[in-house]
Structure 1
Amino acid sequence: MNRAKLIRLSARLINSLSSTRQPGLHSLRLNQVTNFSYLAQSPPFPFAKPTHSSLISSNSHQNVYFTTKSESMFELILSKDDWSVEIENELKKLNPNVNHESVVYVLKKLNQNPKKSMDFYKWVRDKKKFETRYVPCTLLLKTLACREFMEDFWAVASEMKGKGLCIDYQIYVAVNGALEREKMAKEAAEWTKFYDSMWKENGQNDVVKNVVKVIMGSEWSEEVESKLKRLNFPLSENVVFRVIWGLKEKPLNALKFFNWVVSCRKYEHSSVTYSRMARVLSLGGLMGEFWDLVTRMRSEGHEIDGYVKLARCLNNGDAVNLFELIMDGPYKLSEKDCIWLLKILAHDTNPDIDLVNRVVNKYVEVGNTHNKATYDCIHRSLCKTGRFDEAKKIVDKMRKAGFKPDNITYSQEVFGLCKLRRFEDANLVLNQMEDEGCVPDIKTWTILIQGYCAAGKMDEALTCFAQVPDKNLDPDADMLEVLINGFISHDKLLGAYKFLVEMVRKACLKPWQATYKLMIEKLVQNGEIDKAYYLLSMMKEQEYPPYPEPFVEYISKSGTVQDAKKLLAAVPMKGSTPSIEAYVNIITSFFNKGRHSEAKDLLYVSPPKVRRQKKIQKLFGFEPPKQLS
């Protein structure tokens, strides 16, 4: 990129764009370009007691016992180079409690070590008679999905299939992604075939569908129970798990089924079925039932599977309550889970510092230490709430703990200051960074520019933008998107258009596809059709797929057949012709708006294949208009 040219372009646009206005545009909420969540470590905040401490087992000695045993089992396996009789003898002396929860705990801890994971699994399966279960096996599959361990991978997959288990689509996608990242296209194709065959053989789709259909058909009653008894369906973890998920649109019915299989079919739920039931209740917002279920689950000795998936369905307060509950149990959450939760809390517009404190303190209370990631998370939350004095203290603690503040740390302070319109202080932070040898990166500059845009200070935003090349940085699509959103949110649509075209044509920037789409939508809404068409052509030049939807909506309301033909000519990528679907969409849009004459006129000049489409024949009757000779 010619940086000098970009500077000149930016400087010239500062005055011209600030005077360009388009009244009547609705403001847009700017997307935050603040994805810098690599969190940190700090001494604990004042401790806040968990709201749901009453749910935790009173037998704390037993919890410590199981935690110690599982952790010791993991550490023993990790300490040895290879699996051996010696390890097995030491494990025998340790006498660990080998159950679903402890096996899952160890496999999660070993997820970066495929060989030790497989050795451990073989030991619990062959020597401890551990039954093949869904969650441990799927954890293994994700760990073993690499070139060196494909033999073990297929052995576990085949074992699951042989036991009648089915893999969730999400697990299939995760494994497939891992194989593709390893550039194992052949294995990925075989995995897809295996997944399909597993579902054909073990899916029991008809069984699950029939059970779900009976329950969804009416409110729970004795009649429903009678119908379920007559179905006499097999009660496996796979079937119960899938029926519960199939009933997620009616969570109370799912709970009735969950309880019914226990009372009438004498089924014993596992951590897998409990966790899935908890997720369905949380999705339905039934928090009273959710916490009752969790209490019952813990009383029966089961632990939550998949904290992150479940916590995504909860509000922040309940997610923290569940975090505390699990951390007080025998199988602690990982550092990764803790950081994920702190990121979620920090991403709130106004983070709840009390919740942040509780997560940090609970993590430390059970024997963990902070890393830079937790420090950064605390710092971000404090900066976003304007508590800069406390934020500086966190940075001081970070330094004392041996972690040097970096672009992530300082960018959070810049964002918080910009949020409060303290731009002079935000610029001072950038100067401080340079003085300390921490050169502001493109994301730090983007945050500052975003702050100016949010405040309507577009001249200052463009001045910053013009300075970026002088800092040996190349403006990117994120920065461009922030500026475009800033123009639009302050009713400067034509200025945004001119700026975007200049940056693409003369500064060789490539915007995000979403930036193009937003600009096209706004231009069409404001009747600037020719400019929208020009952006459509720019999209195609940069090999983005066409975006005809705003044009179709506009043309169907007030456009002509000639406008429709122009769109059909503009949409195809280079060297191709308009698709049949494109013709059908525009004709249907005309028809749906009551403009039947225009729909017929466009149909007259359409390819013969269009008239043979069932959708078109349904609109016009069984004998659609014939093509003009």
Structure 2
Amino acid sequence: MRYQWRLLLFRSYRSSPRSFLSHHSQFQVISNTTRSFSSFLHERFGVGALQQRQCLFALRSPLASSVSRSFSSESAIEEKPPVEAVVIDVFSRLTGKDEIRRELDSNNIVISHELALRVLRELESSPDVAGRFFQWVLEAYPRKLSSKSYNTMLRIFGVNGLVDEFWELVDAMKKKGHGVSANVRDRVGEKFQKDGLESDLEKLKEIFASGSMDNSVDKVCNRVCKIVMKEVWSADVEKQLRDLKLEFKSDLVKMVLEKLDVDPRKALLFFRWIDESGSFKHDEKTYNAMARVLGKEKFLDRFQHIIEEIRSAGYEMEMETYVRVSARFCQTKMIKEAVELFEFAMAGSNTPTPHCCSLLLKKIVTAKKLDMDLFTRTVKAYTGNGSVVPDSMLQHVLKSLRSVDRFGQSNEVLKAMNEGGYVPSGDLQSVIASGLSRKGKKDEANELVNFMEASGNHLDDKAMASLVEGHCDAKDLEEASVCFKKMIGKEGVSYAGYAFEKLVLAYCNSFQARDVYKLFTELVKQNQLKPWHSTYKIMVRNLLMKKVARDGGFEEALSLLPMMKNHGFPPFVDPFMDYLSNSGTSAEAFAFLKAVTSKKFPSNSMVLRVFEAMLKSARHSEAQDLLSMSPSYIRRNAEVLELFNSMKPVKSLEYASSGKLSDKSDVFSFVVMLLELITGQPPVDLRAQDGDYNQLADPRLELNYNHQEMVQMASCAAAAIRHLTRRRPKMSQIVRALEGDMSMDDLSEGTRPGQSKYLRPGSVSSEYNASSYTADMKKFKKLALENKEYQSSEYGGTSEYGLNPSASSSEEMNRGSMKRNPQL
């Protein structure tokens, strides 16, 4: 029976696993015949045609995207320039065939029929660049130029006034069986008419009217498809096709198959009939068109048959076929079939690009289940013909692993790629080491170290540092310490500074500064490790934290100063100053000064800095103690004495007597100032010891004041200097009383008679006894008289340096009294 293959097409096929890769049939691509038009284009658009460049990226962006983008396994694709814009830029800058090919390959650009059309359409106003692109594709990928491509180039020549080139291309199209489209006729006809080219216009109309050139391939294709799609395939369908009396050419058959893509079964029937009927012998272009139509899940077996026929017939799978079908397989989760297709393509001459391999590997690792067998097969297929795995491929795979939370399987991926001869760069080693340790994958991290050693490629110092840093980030400080010790045991201490600082910082951030101090000193003394200066600073700061310093951290921080000096670093003293000014003792301050001593007691500038820090923080007692512990030449130093003299404490009288501060202390201090205004005298006057308070107002006023206001001020002062803070009025009450909004009786409300009077020695109060008051006043008078403000001869004398009162002054201070009005 004739055409028994028809029965096979309608049989119910059962899927059976078949390998796309045929190890016994590898053939070269049949060379194309030389085009006569090629030499013309090369002469017209070769070197020298770059003189009129235009700003190509200002052209409109194409609507379509590159087919290679459909492979991406990422959720969001980084926005890139349109593929056609990149191609246009390449052909605008470069002229050499080889450099153009290298540039396109570096951008992972595959020239397809659709891409060629888009580029030519964008270059309609740039005939030089368009001609150079058309010439290059004609020589490199002639089958990518269809009738549409030729007509687009023809239109570019015509509308730009390149008449000679237009007719040359028309002749070339005649030989290839391509016709002039109606669009070209109309657009170029208008240009000819506008330019007054009447003879050319008539010639164009005659050619189009003759039908010899626009028995248009598109129209013929539509007639064929209409017959095939109209009814079920039968002898009548075959008769109708024969009655068309067509000469089937490669472009026409390819176009028909592509239009029949909606019904792959009928496309295959047409494909078989046209071959066995003798109407056309299939070539590489039509085989690949049929393969693209059948590359779907439902027609997998027939697709396998077709691609095996391609190889058996001596043809090769086109890159466009691989890209489209592989993308379709990956989109429908047919990862195994995509890998088999990749193996088949890598066995031919049109091998997939590194980008294609990366996309497939990313799809494998992000699948529902990671199949390492498929991953290994893909790597072997890629490296089997001598291709080298680039770092970017592993980088993309690692990124995909992280996106699906499978970074723990990085070692398996690395081993599979290592079998193909790949050795990761130091940066990628660091990425893997850091990723595993950060995830807490302790065993996997150790496995990585062992695997790299076994393969003869030790992890470099940066990778080991990343491993330590990762363990630190995972809060596994013990493992980080062990890993660091291994690192310096293998690599030495020369490059350990970065990793050690990360380790120290991790311990300190976990409030274990004293623990890392032990490790610090051990490694420095036993392993001759030289930490960075910044590492020393981290240690000192954390050891001087208040709680740590009290538990021994201060002494440990001091011990680091000579170690810093031995490593050539200046001592880091700022944290010591902060500590001593806030909570350090005089003994600790003295120990610090001894620690920064080289030959003798530290320089005067360092001593002054310590004293100044303590005095500024009102730690005068500790500063005095430190001064008494210092050598005699420091105690007699004029700068030191001047510093103490200029920074004497100025405290409120309340604080001087009780050592406690409150809002009532502010009231007390305010009325002391008020008394000074009233009397014109300091709060403690050694000359006024007769107990006569009748002349309370300043005599210099000469009674030139409002008597009622003076009484109000004196009453407020008397109420506010009561010994018991709870009996004093609030500041708001003082203000209201002075403004006349509150009576003096209200200000003294709740005060028992006699409570505001001066308590002389011997008198008794249930609230505040005389001995306590007398002792407090002595403390206050000593402080008040030591203040520089009151050290004039008018108020009393001091010793030579003003640091300690003289004997006579001390006696006077003990007898001094504060002015009070017992009548208020």
The reply to whether TM is greater than 0.5 is no
TM tier relative to shorter chain:
0.3 to 0.5
TM-score normalised per structure 1: 0.39
Larger Rg: 2
TM-score normalised per structure 2: 0.31
Bigger relative contact order (CA 8 A; separation at least 6): 1
